[in-house]
Amino acid sequence: MDKELFDKYNKLGRGNWGKDLTIWKTMYRGFLSQTKSEGGFFSIGKSEGLNPFNEMLLNTFLDIPKARKEGIPVIMHPFNYEPELFFAMNLAPMMQEIISVGLAFVHLNEPYIDYINKIGYGDNPTLCNAQRPFISMVMQGAAPIPDLLFYLSTPCNSLLASYQVYQQLTGIPSYNIDVPYWAYDQDNEFYDKKTMEYMINQSKNLITWLEDNTKQKFDAYKFQQTMAIVNESREYTLEFNELLKAVPCPMPSITGFGVFLTMVARAGSPEAVKATKWFHDTAAENVKNGIGAVPDEKIRIAWPYTHVFFDVGLLSWIEQTFNAVVIMDLLGHYKVLPYNVSTIENCFRSLALGTLDASMVCTTRGPMEYYIEYLLNYVKDYKIDCVIMPMHFACKHVYTMARVTSEAIREETGIPTLIFGVDSYDSREVTSEELKSKISEFLTHIVL
C-alpha cells in the first residue's frame, strides 16, 4: 500500500471508538499494518497497491464507529446471512464471526475459549468455537454490543443456541428467521410449495420489526436498487466460479473464501460489486493467458467444508509442497443465482433465495441428498482429483453426511476422500503439524 493511502486509513482509525469496540479497532489496525507491509489478503500477482477486497474489508471495520457517531443503528448478524436488506434500510451490518473467527487467525481467541470452558458453556465437541469465544467476550466485557441482533435457525443448533445466549446476556432486541427444511424448486423431489412463501413472509415481518425497533423506514425503491446491486455481485461471482473450472486453476486456494466474505459482509453495497469484479477480472485475465495460480499444477482438491482458520498458511503449504490447488471450500463455493428484480415482490424472492441458497446453508438445510448431489457435481465440474474434509468436532450433522457422501463419491467417480477431526478454531486440539502429516500422507501415498 502506498504511503498516502496508508496515512488516510491510519488517520481514519484514530480516535475513541468506544470501550466495547476495542477489539474491533485492534483488528482493524492489525489488518491495516499487514496490508501495508505484505499487501494484505489476496495480493494476487504483481503489486497493485490497495486492492478492492482489502479496501472493502478496511471499510467494513470503519463503518461501525462511523455509524455510532452518526446515530445509525448497528445490527449484528451471522456468517450465513447477507446484509443487503440492512443496507437498504440504512443500518450498519456487523458480522459476528469477523471477530470470533478472525481472532483465530492469530490465536487470540484461545484465551476466550479457555475462559468459557471454565464457565461451563459447552465444549468443542458440542458447541462450535466459531461462536463460543464471543460469548466469553461478552461475559468479560470485551465484546461489541450492537443495537440489534439477527440470526437464523441454520446451519446448526450450535449457532442458534449461542446467539440466543448472547441475546440473553445483553438484552438487546433480537429477531430470528426460521429456514425451512424443504426445497423451493419444483424439479426437486423434496419440493414444498410453501417454502418460498414462508421465507418471503418472514422477511416482510423482519422489516416490520426493524421499523419498530429503529427510526428507519422501509423504502421500496431503495430496496429495489439495493437488490439490483446484489445481482451485479452475484453475476460476477457465478462467472468467477465458472472460471475456476479452467485447468490450470487461475486463482490461489484461498480466493473463493474472499468472494464469500465479500458477499456475507457487504452484499448490497457498491464495494461488493467492485471487489467481486476484481476477483472475476483477475481470474479471467489468468485464464486468457493460461496462467495457473500453482506452477505445474498436479492435484485439484475439493474442500467441501470450512477452512482450518487457526492455520493461515495451510493452503499455501499445500500449494507449494504438492503443486496442488484447493479449488474452493464450502463457504467459498457461492451459488446464489441473480434473480429478476423488476418488481418489489421479485426483490423479496431474490432476498429469500440469498438465504435459502447461502453458502453452507443450501447443503445442510435438508435431507442428506442435498449434500451428496452438491459434492458429486463439485467433483465432476471442477475435474477434482481428491477430496479433503477437515471436520470440525461440533459439526455432528456434517460429519455424518461426509462419511456417507465419501462413499457415494468413491462408488461413482473413484475419487479418494480424506476425513479427519479437527477444531477449526483452536490449534491445541489437533496441531498444524498433525494436520500437515495427515494431508501429506494422503496426498503422497493415496493421490499421487
Query: CATH code at 350?
Result: 3.40.50.11900
Per-residue pLDDT of the chain (448 residues; tens, 9 = 90+): 688 888 999 999 999 999 999 999 999 999 998 888 776 655 554 445 689 999 999 999 999 999 999 999 999 999 999 999 999 999 999 999 999 999 999 999 999 999 999 999 988 788 889 999 999 999 999 999 999 999 998 888 788 889 999 999 999 999 999 999 889 998 888 999 999 999 999 999 999 999 999 989 999 999 999 999 999 999 999 999 999 999 999 999 999 999 999 999 999 999 999 999 999 999 999 999 999 999 999 999 999 999 999 999 999 999 999 999 999 999 999 999 999 999 999 999 999 999 999 988 888 888 889 899 999 999 999 999 999 999 988 887 777 888 899 999 999 999 999 999 999 999 999 999 999 999 999 999 999 8
In a domain, 11, yes or no: no
- Look at the alpha carbons of 62, 105, 273, 293 in this order and tell me if their dihedral is positive or negative: positive
Q: What percent of the chain has pLDDT over 70?
A: 97
Among the listed residues 387, 358, 392, the one whose alpha carbon sits nearest the alpha carbon of residue 375: 387
Instruction: Answer yes or no: is 69 within a domain.
Output: no
Three cell numbers, residue 344: 418489489
CA distance 200 to 202: 5
The torsion of the CA quartet 276, 281, 282, 283, rounded to 10 degrees, works out to 90
Query: What is the number of domains present in the chain?
Result: 1
Q: Is residue 379 part of a domain?
A: yes
In this structure, is residue 92 part of a structural domain?
no
C-alpha–C-alpha distance, residues 192 and 128, integer Å = 31
| Nearest alpha carbon to residue 315 among 299, 333, 334 | 299
Distance, CA of 144 to CA of 135 (rounded, Å): 11
Amino acid type, 319: E
- Candidates 283, 269, 290, 291; CA nearest to 238 is 283
The structure's pTM equals 0.94
Question: Can you tell me the distance from the alpha carbon of 422 to that of 391, in angstroms, rounded to the nearest whole number?
Answer: 6
User: Which residues constitute the domain of residue 439?
Assistant: 181-447
In angstroms, the CA 229 to CA 351 distance is 12
Residue 39 lies in a domain: no
Residue 14 lies in a domain: no
Q: Which residue has 496462467 as its cell numbers?
A: 291
51 within a domain of the structure (yes/no): no
Strand partners, 74: 92
387 forms beta bridges with 302, 417
Q: What are phi and psi of 268, to 5 degrees?
A: 100, -5
Site of grid cell 479427519? 420
Residue type, 87: F
Q: Is residue 42 part of a domain?
A: no
